[in-house]
Structure 1
Amino acid sequence: MKHWLLLFAFSFTACVQAQDYPAPIRALAGKGIAIKATLPAPAGFKGFVGSYQGEKLPIYLLPDGKHVLVGSVFDENGNNLTEAPLQEASKLRLTEATWDKLAKSTWVAEGSATPKRIVYVFTDTECPYCHKLWLATQPLLAGGDVQVRNILVAVIAPQSLNRAAAVLDSSDPLATLRQHENSFGHSSVKPAKTVTAATAAHIAANIALMEELDIHGTPSVIYKDSTGRVRMLPGMPSDDRLKAIFGR
Structure 2
Amino acid sequence: MELTVLGGCGAWPTPEQGCSGYLVVCDGFRLLLDPGYATFPALTAATRAEDVDAVLVTHGHPDHCADINPLLRARALGGADPPPLPLYALPGALDAVLALDTPGMLEGAWELREFTAGAAFGIGPFAVATRLLPHFVPNAGVRLTGPRGDVLAYTGDTGPSGQVPELARDAGLLLCEATHPEAVPAEDEECLLSAAPAGRYARQAGAARLLLTHLWPGTPHEDALRAARKSFAGPVSVAVPGAVVLIGVT
Shorter-normalised TM range: under 0.3
Q: Which structure's relative contact order is higher, taking Cα pairs within 8 Å and 6+ residues apart?
A: 2
**Greater C-alpha radius of gyration:** 1
TM-score by length of 1: 0.27
TM-score by length of 2: 0.27
